[in-house]
A and B are shown apart, each in its own frame.
Chain A
Amino acid sequence: MAESVPRGRLKILLGYAAGVGKTYKMLEEAHDLKRRGLDVVVGYFEPHGRKDTIARLEGLEVIPRRRIEYRGVTFEEMDTEAILRRRPQSCAVDEFAHTNVPGSERAKRWEDVQVLLGEGIDVVTTMNVQHLESLNDQVWQFSGVRVRETIPDWVVQQADQVVLVDLPPDALLNRLKRGAVYSPEKARIAAQNFFRESTLAALREMALRQTAHEVEGRYALQEPEELVAAEARSAGAAEPAVAETRDRILIAVTADPASAALIRRGKRVADYLHADCFVAFVHPRGDPADSASEERKAVEKHLNFARSLRIETRVLEGEDVAETLVDFARLNRITQVFLARPRKPSRLGLLRPSLVQQIVRLARDMQVTVVAERHRSGTASAA
């Protein structure tokens, strides 16, 4: 019975900072749907003390939040079960990237939204571009902020519509000064982090490009060949005579913490190139480290992270790490291997080549991309 329910449609309102007007726009959409005769509720709404936005709530039905006790503190979360009982046609859900308090049914709000969609309820939600998993390192690099609440890219790719909520940084900074976004204290802190003019401009450019990418992904899905050809023509390039060979990307992970950034980068490139993507770890044969060791735990964490991004993972076993990887790559017709940049030349570095050097020497039939860790610029402290 439940299987026959058509999945609800997801619409994401994408912004680049708090205060650009995402929540306001979400409520506008809810009013609009209601005017058109749909049964709409507000599933979660974050007022942030903004008067204009709160006023816009008038006339809409709000599902009360659920209260959850955690370590003696009461938290309020979206009441997904109450929304399911109420069964609206459409539901507005603020802050898509929110992490639920421990003790909630699901860890993330985007997972709650998946449940609503699965039950055939349409959802309009809000998020900022910096919450996208694949942009995490880049955002850190120029803002100094490591965003913890992230959404895997495939969740956003599944949305039926992604609409940009745009506002120039000048206007946003004015709103911040007028106290329309945050309280004065919070505004001062914010001005040091995300709200520097250069950071805002960079985030905004990212949001514009990401929305363009989402738009392209959606229409390209409908008629691939014709549109790719049109795109090539418009870019001034000659029309591809034969279909371009599809790239296949292999990301080689280790226990090194840099593996997380490597996975994000490889996956992002794979997404843009429409390439297949795999993650592999080579477990050296005869390695005494057992599965409970710190190192194996770190590797397992990276593999799980890759799986959460919907990447196929493999654990290989072999005497020689470089040879095992290159053999696997050849067998799987890999065109590009992604490796992390060697941290520091080892003391034996001059005599013993790094994994990168070994693979470059062995893999004469594929490209090797060495991913450098991004260092942060700017002066802000991490939030």
Chain B
Amino acid sequence: MAQNLVLRPERPDPDELLRKVMAEEARERRGKLKVFLGYASGVGKSVRMLDEGRRRHERGADVVVGATQLESTPEVRALLDKLEVIPLRIIDGVSVMDVDAILRRQPQVCLVDGLAHDNPPCCRNRYRWQDVDELLDNGISVIASVNLQYIEEQRAQVAQIRGREVQESVPQAFLGRAAEIEVVDAPPESCLGCGPDGPSGETDRLRRGQQLAQLREIALLLAADVVDHQLERYLQEHGMEQIWSANERFLVWITPYADVGPMVDSGSRNARRFHGDLLAAYLARPDLTPAERAALGRNLKLARDAGAEVHALDGDDPAEALLTFARSRGVTQIFAGHGGRQNWWERTLGGGPIDRVIRDAEGIDVRVFPQ
């Protein structure tokens, strides 16, 4: 039933309760991860990370530096002087974080610069982010920094913008689990000329400025998505129904008869422009004729091809099923087709389904497409 989307069982399943309690305990023991996310080198990630470590140290926390970049600026060196550093080990010519030494030292907080770092094959963890995971499991909180270009799921897109791909990476899900993610934002001008591929001529400079702006946008949107998931989780944990969203969510209402093409085209363009989500929903009815079934199938394919996340809804009342689903997903706009004409009985019964969606869609915009 469509209603199950928002109704919560009154008495929780004891097994589930136990799982929840155990998960909570594990979460309490586990250290907290904070990530500083930058979109390019030179925005000041390392400085912000070390400065946060310094502040926590001055407030009495037991802080060590677990990993630093090889090259450092005077600003970074000044901060490092104020903190205890656990030296990196050199294995096969590669610098590796000394996890055992950190575990023996058992600090409250460990600072890890360059989260995306590959370890040589002989190490027990292949990647530095796995080292960090181990520290977290042992109750050590970690403050880390990472550059957008090293995030697994973003690598291809970043490579397309920058024209070169990096080898090392961190899965985005790992960042999604961070307790806190903080964007180190700066205008692109401030990091022009940093890094190995600094600009030479004026055209290069402009081109690189644009690249940086694009990377900056991706980093901001990535952080927004992480925050969005955190918010959803928070609302769920506190039993709050999501009836609003900081993000735009478009829902296309699919029927066998609808001219779905213009609706999904417009939906995907809107979702792209707003950097929002595109959903589509239809009523799963057992009583469709073969012709209707085929038409519905074609329309659903159009929606899927446009990148919509498609949902089947149950219920006898299409308007109610649609609105219940829309509210549970924090939809901001419903796209629906309208034939323009009404039967006399629709009018006497308070209008057809679309009229009723418009009437009852509190807090949700309805965009009517003529058909």
Contacts and interface: CB of A to CB of B under 8 A. Distances in A.
Interface string B264-280: 00101110111100000
A72 B214 CA distance: 53
B93 to A, nearest CB: 36
Contacts of B340: 360-361, 364
Contacts of B189: 161
Contact of B227 (A205, A213, A230, A364): A205
B298 interface: no
B365 A170 contact: no
Interface stretch (B5-13, B126-134, B193-201, B351-359): B351-359
Given A222-B210, A232-B272, A363-B370, A356 B227 contact: no
Contact of A369 (B228, B243, B244, B366): B366
Contacts of A142: 244, 246
A372 B366 contact: yes
Interface string A159-197: 001011111101100000000000000000000000001
A361 B223 CA distance: 43
Interface in A234-259: 234-237, 244
A336 B368 CA distance: 9
Contacts of B72: none
B350 interface: yes
Contact of A166 (B182, B243, B244, B266): B182
Interface in B232-267: 234-235, 238, 240, 243-244, 246-247, 266
A360 B350 CA distance: 16
Nearest to A219: B213
Contacts of B206: 222
Given A163-B186, A231-B272, A272-B273, A372 B210 contact: no
Contact of A356 (B224, B247, B270, B358): B358
Contacts of B161: 230
A212 B363 contact: no
B135 to A, nearest CB: 19
Nearest to A366: B370
A380 interface: no
B364 A372 contact: yes
Contact of A201 (B227, B306, B358, B369): B227
B88 interface: no
A209 B224 contact: yes
B343 interface: no
Given A205-B228, A222-B210, A215 B216 contact: yes
- The contact size tier of chain A is 35 or more
A241 to B, nearest CB: 12
A370 B358 contact: yes
Nearest to B183: A166
Contacts of B369: 367
B230 interface: yes
B235 A198 contact: yes
A167 B184 CA distance: 9
Interface in B325-351: 333, 338, 340-341, 347-348, 350-351
B180 A168 contact: yes
A338 B171 CA distance: 42
Contacts of B176: none
Nearest to A244: B269
B54 interface: no
A341 B361 contact: yes
Interface string B31-57: 000100000000000000000000000
Interface of B: 34, 157, 160-161, 179-187, 189, 206, 209-210, 213-214, 216-217, 220-221, 223-224, 227-228, 230-231, 234-235, 238, 240, 243-244, 246-247, 266, 268-270, 272-275, 306-307, 333, 338, 340-341, 347-348, 350-351, 355, 358-359, 361-370
30 contacts: A142-B244, A161-B189, A163-B187, A164-B220, A167-B182, A168-B34, A168-B179, A201-B234, A202-B244, A206-B246, A208-B183, A208-B227, A209-B246, A211-B185, A212-B221, A219-B210, A219-B214, A230-B160, A234-B157, A272-B273, A273-B269, A341-B359, A357-B351, A360-B368, A360-B370, A361-B340, A367-B367, A369-B367, A369-B368, A370-B366
Chain A to chain B: the 6 pairs with minimum beta-carbon distance, closest first: A168-B180, A212-B220, A208-B224, A219-B213, A205-B246, A164-B185
